[in-house]
Chain A
Amino acid sequence: MALSGKTGIRGAGVALAVALTLAGCGGAKVGDTGSAQSGSTGDCGTFNIAINPWVGYEANAAVLAYVAEKQLGCKVTKKDLKEEVAWQGFGTGEVDAVVENWGHDDLRAKYVDDQKTAVSAGSTGVTGQIGWYVPPWMAEKYPDITDWNNLNKYADLFKTSESGDKGQLLDGDPSFVTNDEALVKNLNLDYKVVYGGSETALIQAFKQAEEKKTPVIGYFYSPQWLLSQVKLVKVKLPAYTKGCDADTQKIACDYPDYDLDKIVSKKFADAGGPAFQLVKNFKWTNEDQNLVAKYIAEDKMSADAAAKKWVDDNADKVKAWLPAGK
């Protein structure tokens, strides 16, 4: 197999000659073009934005990053992190902003109140809703299923290998707080909470249930990109009133609406640079976010391309976010 010494060297010589000829023929040299664009940092500096792992969040972050980079001249670094780790990054100076926060009172207490490394930067304008959902075909076939009072009537439909002789309530995106175990108990429902364990598991379950017209009921939330494909229907639980969720063991009411807000590091806020102004002013609607999320999730656009498309179409909205004088 191996080349003998001489042919090896000769072969290398020939190849060298060929290569040099090829090189001589040309081809663009590295660094010839495209080096001009790197000089436009302006006074913005670097902007470290956390990317929490869901598409709606990514939509917010994509648009903010795009505007910061293109219109304010910031050097944007995106960091893919789970929420807990991202908040931790405020203290270590590695994260400047989290741009869609779902409640997280525990993290707020720890980082905003105790360690004082983070502050809220106001609402994103997007309202989050957590609750129990059924696929659209079920809501159509069993119209009264969307009221919790009737759930026991349908418990048999939802039996699975995991729930035994009770109905299965599919739960457990591990990132979110759930009161479902207490709800099932306190509302005397004939259901068992089964922990799917990931957002992927929940999405797959609902998607397949609609495609194959199989029954499923579970924990979900909006805004979420899946809802534009499968219009899940929310089940009505006893209405939320302030304080009805105070004792976690005795909860018998729906989840509150979440005003999704932005959290930034204290240092970033105190410096008050253009990127902070942008984050603070950023506000849009559920529809806006759903549209960008759809570009990313369904049209398979890159986050950057999706943001560009939306920003180009909504120049006036973007203008309102920019710091004065820009």
Chain B
Amino acid sequence: MAAVALSKVDLRRPGRGAVVALVLALWLVLWALLKGLHTLALGPAQLTPLHQAVNDLNDSIGASRNTNPLFLYFFNEIRLVIDEFVTFIQSLIAQPAFGRPLPLIGWLGVVALAAFVSYAAGGFRVALLAAAGFTFLGLQGLWEESMDTLALTLAAVVIALLFGIPIGIWAGLSDRFNRVITPVLDFMQTMPTFVYLAPLTLFFLIGPASATIATLVYAAPPAIRLTAYGIRNVPGDTVEASASLGATDGQTLRKVLLPTAKRTIIVGINQTMMAALSMVTIAALIDAPGLGKTVIKALQTLDVGTAFNAGLAIVVLAIVLDRVTTAAGDRVDRARLTRRPWAARARQGGLIGGGVLTLVAVWLSYTYVWAAEFPPDVEVGSSIAKGVTTATDWVQSNLSGITNGVKDVVTLVLVDPLQSLLTGSPWWLVAAVVVALSVVLGGIRAAIGSAVCLGLLVATGLWQDSMATLASTLVATAVVMVIGVAVGVWMGRSPGADRVIRPVLDAAQTMPAFVYLVPFLALFAASRFTAIVAAVVFAAPVAVKIVADGVRAVSPTTVEAATASGSSTWQTITKVQLPMARQALVLATNQGLVYVLSMVVVGGLVGAGALGYDVVAGFSQGQLYGKGLAAGLAIVVLGVLLDRLTRAAAARSGRS
């Protein structure tokens, strides 16, 4: 994509490419002269006054917890309500309750309910998928854990929507509120969870409430954003027509805005569910019940098989929830197009029949042990675990020679030079280069934004760590884009490839990173490269999907015209499809960056050092808490800087 953008620049405004090259060349020369000067290095155990101040603040909050009225009358009340809510859902499907040794609804009832809800929301095919998926969870030997995870996820999603959709509507209606809330949402999504996990337990105690709120903070933003986006995109004349017919604001909202935006809102709900599921393992660190605990426990003894089995259950849950909500969105579309009476009657019959069946199943699972407790003798989980362990053992012992070679080369050729350029230059030089590039690529406004971000980075006291993290982030994003374009174009051109690859992408996005970190460590040792690979696994799928959608959206007649005029496949791709999917490429880069940054902390667990390690250590050691928080802020600032810069550059080159 860089090549596309550059060639465009070269053709139309030869000046800009040359200026960029000049700035970079100047940077290299100055770096060679000034290497090692003013690098603002800070040792792993060293603290700045800011870090110390944060520590003190944290301590004083903890010490006043039992006397502070804010705790007594505000946080405690919130905690009570959320605790009750989660415990209630758990007692329905997951945990023994009401004096019974088992939950109210057993496995048969839950499977039937899942299928029925899927049928009602989506259709027959997703109902089958839901039933099969949920049964598989039982076969894995993880029924109770899966239900705990489902209960917590549902609770978090319900609360997220309860607040998220009204906030989203407000942001959709008011430009001013939208401007205020957008940075808050950015912050919620990029601030590493590790930073607020420990303080959360201080405010909301250890238990379901803290786990739910941790999940909520990360999962609510997509629902808010997409609701706002959906409302904003309702055509202006529709709203005007409604108003001119004498509808009140409330009526316009209920009868016009919400129905028209319904599909986008459902996409938001879908994204919120996926985000909530991705928090399962991290929330387990503060005693959140469910599959996350299984993953973490298994990894203490490097039991990859067991961890994978539990990770697979999370993937299954994610795929079921994703397909059902997606089908629900499609149904909304179709329902508006077709209204055939016989279809409606058939559906009504199906709903009644299915409803009766579901009630029977629920009653059975309430009453009889065989329908309540998943039969333990039909179990495939241990075979899955064993198979995976054998496979990873083989891979680890046979491939690690080659993979370590790859690691050494990539580190030597790409990561090391970039990192030494960024961390070895004086901070003011890097800052000047970034501001200069911002002016050239995005304009004065972008440059001011960059300058503010750079100032904040210096203020966190973690400049050098930030630069090291930035180097790895840039390399990872470049790899993500190479994969994104290659696979995305393939999927966009071939529906068959799309069908095969898409589930793999879904799995890569929802499989907890903790599961594949162990084999990665064996293949690449604890290193920055390992962290880069982990980030690529997580971030490439989203880039691939966006590019594929973009390529598919290029009008077929244009492609046919190109083919007819004698273009080769390669020419069609490079001269027609990719340039026309430019918006998608920009979005893919932007999202790729954001996803890579969200893996910085995970990278810190496998040898990336720098900001990721600072955050992890801050979570684990009290005296490093303030530094961890500062590192979290630095990650957010890096995210904002890169996000705004790519957007501004894209908007500008789009205009020129």
Contact = CB atoms under 8 A, between A and B. Distances in A.
A199 B299 CA distance: 10
Nearest to A79: B287
Interface in A1-36: 1-9, 11-13, 15-16, 19, 22-23, 27-32, 34-35
B357 A30 contact: no
A84 B522 contact: no
Given A9-B349, A81-B286, A200-B521, A195 B613 contact: yes
Interface in B252-286: 284-286
Contact of B606 (A54, A80, A161, A201): A201
A300 B305 CA distance: 12
B124 A172 contact: no
Contact of A84 (B300, B412, B620): B620
Interface bracket on A:
35 or more
B535 to A, nearest CB: 14
A27 B375 CA distance: 13
B318 interface: no
Contacts of B622: 84, 106-107, 110
Interface in B323-366: 343, 345-350, 352-354, 356-357, 360-361, 364, 366
Contact of A8 (B63, B100, B350, B612): B350
A16 B357 contact: yes
Nearest to A208: B522
Contacts of B205: 89, 92, 94
Interface stretch (B9-17, B220-228, B475-483, B523-531): B523-531
A197 B613 contact: yes
B397 A89 contact: no
A101 to B, nearest CB: 13
B299 A30 contact: no
A220 B125 CA distance: 53
B59 interface: yes
Contact of A12 (B299, B354, B605): B354
A70 interface: no
Interface in A142-201: 160-162, 164, 170, 172, 174-175, 177-178, 181, 193-201
A5, A35, A54, A300 pick with most chain B CB within 10 angstroms: A5
Nearest to B355: A12
A254 to B, nearest CB: 18
B62 interface: yes
A114 interface: yes
Nearest to A20: B360
B206 A204 contact: no
A88 B202 contact: yes
B367 interface: yes
A85 B619 CA distance: 9
A74 B284 CA distance: 25
Contact of B621 (A31, A177, A194): A177
Interface string A67-105: 000000000000111111100110110110000000000
Contacts of B612: 197
B286 A85 contact: yes
B527 A162 contact: yes
B101 A174 contact: no
A89 B604 CA distance: 26
Contacts of B284: 80
B400 A212 contact: yes
Nearest to B207: A94
A12 B407 CA distance: 60
B370 interface: yes
A252 to B, nearest CB: 16
A272 interface: no
A53 interface: yes
A12 B526 contact: no
Interface residues of B, number: 90
B59 A30 contact: no
A208 B347 CA distance: 59
B347 to A, nearest CB: 6
A174 B617 contact: yes
A225 B525 CA distance: 21
Contact of B354 (A8, A23, A58, A225): A8
Contacts of A89: 201, 205-206
Nearest to A19: B360
Residue from A164, A195, A205, A211 with most neighbouring chain B CB atoms (10 Å):
A195
Given A115-B63, A161-B529, A207-B302, A196 B607 contact: yes
Interface in B541-594: none
A132 B621 CA distance: 21
Contacts of B455: none
Interface string B604-628: 1111110011001101111101000
B301 A225 contact: yes
Interface in B178-217: 197-198, 201-202, 205-207
In this complex, the member of A23, A82, A89, A196 whose beta carbon has the largest number of chain B beta carbons within 10 angstroms is A196
Contact of A200 (B125, B525, B528, B605): B605
A23 to B, nearest CB: 6
Contact of A2 (B201, B346, B620): B346
Contact of A34 (B63, B101, B606): B101
A91 B526 contact: no
Contact of B206 (A12, A85, A199): A85
Contacts of B350: 2-3, 8
A28 B369 contact: yes
B118 to A, nearest CB: 14
Given A30-B102, A55-B301, A82-B620, A194 B352 contact: no
A27 B370 contact: yes
A84 B59 CA distance: 12
Contacts of A114: 59, 63
Nearest to B369: A28
B349 A5 contact: yes
Contacts of A305: none
Contacts of B397: 211-212
B100 A30 contact: yes
B613 A28 contact: no
B73 interface: no
Given A23-B367, A84-B198, A107-B622, 4 more contacts: A15-B360, A30-B366, A193-B44, A204-B302
18 contacts: A5-B346, A12-B357, A27-B368, A53-B300, A54-B300, A82-B286, A84-B621, A110-B62, A160-B525, A174-B621, A194-B527, A200-B300, A200-B521, A203-B302, A205-B521, A208-B522, A248-B45, A300-B303
**4 closest A-B pairs (Cβ-Cβ)?**
A5-B349, A8-B353, A8-B349, A12-B353
